[in-house]
Amino acid sequence: MEIQIKRGISANLPNLLEGEPAFTTDTKELFIGTGSENIQITGDQAHTHIQDVPASVWTITLPDGFKEYPSVTITDSAGTQVYGEVNYNYPVVTLSFTAGFSGTAHFN
């Protein structure tokens, strides 16, 4: 049985049938159809949250399509790695710490 993959530029990507694959030649992305929408298949994902206001609880909403339980690395504003409690309630991740601070959370 031969598998055919549709290909073309992303602007012309049609609504794919359920299970039908497509590759965009301009953006180099892979999609799988559900019959009602096209889902982008991603390899390594990354998202960075910048916490400008010091807080002991950070609430972060992951982007659409991001994996459900990503790893997270947290650094304070000085660049020191910090550890805290991580709670997942997809797509929201809550990071809790013993004291408030500003910094960055890197998800992948």
* CA 96/CA 55 separation, integer angstroms: 9
Quick: pLDDT tens for 10-26.
Answer: 899 999 999 999 998 88
CB atoms inside a 10 Å sphere around CB 6: 16
| Confidence at residue 43, expressed as pLDDT on a 0 to 100 scale | 67
Q: Are residues 69 and 20 in the same domain?
A: no
* CA 92/CA 68 separation, integer angstroms: 9
Report how many domains make up the chain: 2
Q: Are residues 95 and 74 in the same domain?
A: yes
* CA 84/CA 64 separation, integer angstroms: 24
Closest CA to 51 of 91, 104, 107: 104
Q: Are residues 98 and 52 in the same domain?
A: yes
> What pTM does this model have?
0.63
CA gyration radius for the chain? 19
Would 69 be classed as within a structural domain? yes
Range of the domain at 30: 6-41
| Confidence at residue 89, expressed as pLDDT on a 0 to 100 scale | 96
Q: Are residues 64 and 14 in the same domain?
A: no
Quick: pLDDT tens for 54-106.
Answer: 999 999 999 887 888 999 999 999 999 999 999 999 999 999 999 999 999 99
CB atoms inside a 10 Å sphere around CB 54: 12
Q: Are residues 51 and 103 in the same domain?
A: yes
